[in-house]
Amino acid sequence: MFIHKGRSVAPSLIMALALFCYLLFVGGHAYAQNVVDTTTLPPSVNKTVEPAGADADSVVVLHPYDPSTTDTIPWPGKLKAKRSRFGNWIRKGYDALKRHHPRDTTDKTMAFHSRIENYYQPYAGKVIRHIEVRQFGFEKSFSDTATKIRYFGTQLLNNLHNNSKPWVIRNNLFIHEDERLSPAIVADNERYLRNLNFIRDARILVKTIDPQSDSVDLLVVTKDLFSLTGEVSSLDLDHQQITIGDENLMGLGQSLEVTGLHDPERKPKYGLDARYEKYNVFNSFVNVSGGYADIGRNLYNHKKNERSYFLNLDRPLYSQYARTFGFLHMTNAWSRHSFEPFTEPDSAFYKYHYKMLDVAFGYNFGARRHLQSMDVPLRKVISFRYFNYNFKESPEQFAGRYVEKLNDRQAFLTKFTLFKQKFFKTRYILGFGATEDIPYGYNFSVTGGWYRIKDLSRPYVGLDANRYAYTEKGDIIQLF
């Protein structure tokens, strides 16, 4: 028995107080463990001691103390939380964001360090005997092909969506049967498929015939994006604008988008904007698009009183092993008096009519060199561009003035580019789980030429530099 200021204190009471203090101390400094995805972390980062029961690709993160998991002694805050249903909802929402959700279980070290073409390197030089195309529905994921996601949503998406036709996928291949396999080109083709407007993810897999065989088969697996699109820009009682479209109409590698407008204050009160595009016509990698609109925005005050039609042909540099690229854009546009007072002259109406021609051509020097090399070559590209905005009529409000948007202008430009670039395949950097191709390297370009607006001419010079780099901690930095 202990004596304190003349009073006796039982040892059991002392032990109870000590236990109470210990629980408060441990509870106040306890933290929950959680698991996060480390897809892009280099080996130097994954040195945290692994907790018992954690995944092999996990790191420990600290969370605020949760008394409900450690403290068994009632306290006012806990009792209040029990009484507050709203507080429980907030806590559950917070926990849902912070706690572990299963993610990609691929080897993180390989995911960070591997270039896309590394997978194909053992098969370099072998003859491609056959190419098979296979497609996943919305119930399958590339990260776990053994598990199917079955619920009402996936069934609805599969019923509403038209999968890309196999010939459409083949049309977007620049690898062919009876050719020798080049790891660089196959990797570039896989990346190109993933960048198509109607494809969510893609893989090109190698099927070996026999270890001693000089031939291989390729399996191209793709998963479509849900192609139906829509937008409600305005839904007032007296003003409506709705857009509907399909990025892969009927699964044929084509898109159609239509916008309808109803505005009683406009004349005519109904308007239309329709656009059509066909991707990769006849395996030429030329996209052809055209359209008509009578609800375009005025160049100056942005009122919807412009009418136009256009035709575009675009052939991008779809691969660093492609030789040529370019585009041809043609537009005819004019403004129309569509708002009150519907009579001219009207100082609030900017009347104009112009025709536009924009054409470019580029060449990639040595595009087919280094096909079997693992070294990243330095690419040299030159391109030429000419554009001409020819105003048949300009707004009277700006007569004798220089307004770039509303005056004749033309330019001839030459651009020289140096780039050295490779790609890493990863996930969860920019998107929500889809495979992403992150560039690594640099590009530098210099542009020079001549530019004229009305009767004023001047030289034009421009510089552009970009550097994509990774830090030791796995961060991705773009310098420009």
Q: What is the pLDDT of residues 200-251, one digit of tens each?
A: 999 999 998 888 889 999 999 999 999 999 999 999 988 999 999 999 999 9
Q: Percentage of the chain with pLDDT > 90?
A: 48
Both 143 and 194 in a single domain? yes
Residue 396's pLDDT band (boundaries 50, 70, 90)?
confident
Both 327 and 364 in a single domain? yes
Residue 199's pLDDT band (boundaries 50, 70, 90)?
very high
For residue 31, pLDDT over 80 is answered with no
Residue 20's pLDDT band (boundaries 50, 70, 90)?
low
CATH assignment at residue 143: 3.10.20.310
Both 89 and 131 in a single domain? no
Both 59 and 174 in a single domain? no
pLDDT at 404: 86
pLDDT at 30: 40
For residue 106, pLDDT over 50 is answered with no
Task: Taking residues 261-278, report their average pLDDT.
Answer: 94
Domain of residue 60 covers: 10-98
Both 85 and 195 in a single domain? no
Residue 473 lies in a domain: no
Average pLDDT for the chain: 79
Residue 232 lies in a domain: no
Both 365 and 336 in a single domain? yes
Write out pLDDT tens, residues 56-98.
Answer: 333 333 334 444 444 444 444 444 444 566 566 566 555 544 4
Task: Taking residues 122-128, report their average pLDDT.
Answer: 93
**Which of the listed residues 363, 386, 407 is the one where a domain comes to its end?**
407
**Which of the listed residues 358, 382, 407 is the one where a domain comes to its end?**
407
Residue that wins the pLDDT comparison between 273 and 436: 273
Residue 51's pLDDT band (boundaries 50, 70, 90)?
very low
Structure tokens at 291: 């359209």
For residue 175, pLDDT over 90 is answered with yes
Is-contact 245 254, C-beta < 8 A?
Answer: no
Both 292 and 388 in a single domain? yes
For residue 110, pLDDT over 50 is answered with no
Domain count, the chain: 3
Both 119 and 86 in a single domain? no
Both 191 and 145 in a single domain? yes
Residue 166 lies in a domain: yes
Q: At how many degrees (to 10) do helices 85-98 and 76-83 cross?
A: 100
Residue 384 lies in a domain: yes
For residue 48, pLDDT over 70 is answered with no
Task: Taking residues 17-34, report their average pLDDT.
Answer: 45
Both 397 and 316 in a single domain? yes
Burial class (CB in 10 A: 0-12, 13-18, 19+), 247: buried
- CA 448 – CA 389 distance, rounded (Å): 19
Task: Taking residues 154-165, report their average pLDDT.
Answer: 88
Residue 298 lies in a domain: yes
Residue that wins the pLDDT comparison between 204 and 54: 204
Task: Taking residues 117-134, report their average pLDDT.
Answer: 92
Is-contact 143 206, C-beta < 8 A?
Answer: no
Residue 275 lies in a domain: no
pLDDT at 86: 58
pLDDT at 438: 82
**Which of the listed residues 224, 239, 259 is the one where a domain comes to its end?**
224
Task: Taking residues 338-355, report their average pLDDT.
Answer: 81
Task: Taking residues 158-182, report their average pLDDT.
Answer: 93
For residue 17, pLDDT over 50 is answered with yes
Residue 370 lies in a domain: yes
Task: Taking residues 141-150, report their average pLDDT.
Answer: 71
Both 44 and 118 in a single domain? no
Identify the weakest region by mean pLDDT among 30-34, 145-149, 173-177: 30-34
Both 401 and 286 in a single domain? yes
Residue 382 lies in a domain: yes
pLDDT at 228: 93
Is-contact 63 99, C-beta < 8 A?
Answer: no
Write out pLDDT tens, residues 416-443.
Answer: 999 988 887 777 677 666 788 888 888 9
